Amino acid sequence: MSPIIKKKGEKFTLPSKYLLFILTILCTGMVLLTFQTTVFSGPLSAIAGYTVVPFEEGISVIGSWLANRSEELGQIRDLIAENETLKQQVDELTIENTRLQQDRYELTNLRELYNLDAQYDEYEKTGARIIARDSGNWFYSFVINKGTNDGIAVDMNVMAGSGLVGRIVDVGPNWAKVKSIIADDSNVSAMVLSSSDNMIVSGNLKLYASGVIEFTQLVDSDNVVVEGDKIVTSNISDKYLPGILIGYISTINQDANNLTKSGYITPAVDFEHLEEVLVVMELKQTIEE
């Protein structure tokens, strides 16, 4: 084997195989030295104290650190898995809570319809669900899921909440269109329940933005009508059955002719949140006949 000759100007480099060999001898020596320190004392123990012991302590510290990191990583993985499980549970509970709220809301609506049905028990009625409506914030015109196949006919009265919604204006085999009393072209012959004084209730979408509709042509000769009085459909209405609640007087004004009064009514029905309605299965014309 030829000797390693270092040329002038070149850096000395040790081949990898020699470096590996030296490190192997060194590690072996350290192990033997460690073993000897358990049997012999004296100089070898002193040397081990300065060389092997710090080496072992370093390895112990590194091992402990790696063990702690491994344990922490395991805990992190467990926490991530637990977090995903909790998220799934939260999503499921949110869905269940939403469903329960919807059920409660529908139950409230059904109770209102039941009470309304009992209040007007002299009329045969059927329940229906709203399936479409015209654009806008309020149900001034909408479609229900029952039609001629269910006995629905034009001019049948429609109720919800605490009173009158409107009437059927068009009908198909399994659908019907309802025009409500708040529509701009709606007019209802009405009367004050306490005094039987007649008036005309007119729809007005701009007014309903303030929560009211208009009444006109009230003849109150005895000045007995006051704010808060109930307004119902009158006996002389040609489309609406008598005695159905429309709303409550909120404002009364004396007209310029000093003969009639006008003002505003707060409707008994919330025309912004309708979902189910009752259709009265009798026509005013049929009852009169």
Residue-wise pLDDT for 165-209, tens only, equals 999 999 999 999 999 999 999 999 999 999 999 999 999 999 999
- The token duo for 254 is 């004396």
pLDDT of residue 57: 64
Does the pLDDT at position 41 exceed 60?
no
Decide if pLDDT at 106 tops 50. Answer: yes
Question: What's phi and psi for 102, nearest 5 deg?
Answer: -65, -45
Give me the pLDDT at residue 40, please: 46
Q: Which amino acid is at 47?
A: I
3-state secondary structure 36-88: HHCCCCCHHHHHHHHCHHHHHHHHHHHHHHHHHHHHHHHHHHHHHHHHHHHHH
Give CA–CA dist 59/31, Å, rounded: 13
Q: Which two tokens stand for residue 132?
A: 């479409």
pLDDT band of 216, cuts 50, 70, 90: very high
In which region does residue 17 sit, left (phi positive, over 0), alpha (psi from -120 to 50) or beta (all else)? alpha
Mean pLDDT for the stretch of residues 215-244: 93
Q: What is the end-to-end Cα distance of the chain in Å, rounded?
A: 132
User: 156, exposed or middle or buried, with CB in 10 Å at 0-12, 13-18, 19+?
Assistant: buried
Q: What is the pLDDT of residue 140?
A: 92
Q: Mean pLDDT over all residues of the chain?
A: 81
pLDDT at 50: 58
User: In 3-state terms, what secondary structure has residue 279?
Assistant: strand
Q: Kind and range of the H or E element at 189?
A: strand 187-192
Percentage of the chain with pLDDT > 70? 70
Indicate if the pLDDT at residue 79 is higher than 70: yes
pLDDT at 206: 92
Phi-psi label, residue 211: left if phi above 0, alpha if psi -120 to 50, beta otherwise: left
Question: If 0-12 CB within 10 Å is exposed, 13-18 middle and 19+ buried, where does residue 126 land?
Answer: middle
pLDDT value, residue 22: 73
Element (H, E) at 101: helix 52-119
Tokens of 173: 């085999």
| Residue with more model confidence, 48 or 108 | 108
Residue 103 has pLDDT above 80, yes or no: no
The pLDDT value given to residue 1: 47
- 0.75 surpassed by pTM: no
Could you tell me the fold of the domain covering 126-288? Thrombin, subunit H (2.40.10)
| pLDDT higher than threshold 50 for residue 64 | yes
pLDDT at 65: 72
For the chain, domain boundaries: 126-288
What's residue 81's pLDDT? 84
Cβ count near 98 (within 10 Å): 10
Return the number of other C-beta atoms located less than 10 Å from residue 181's C-beta: 28
Strand partners, 266: 248
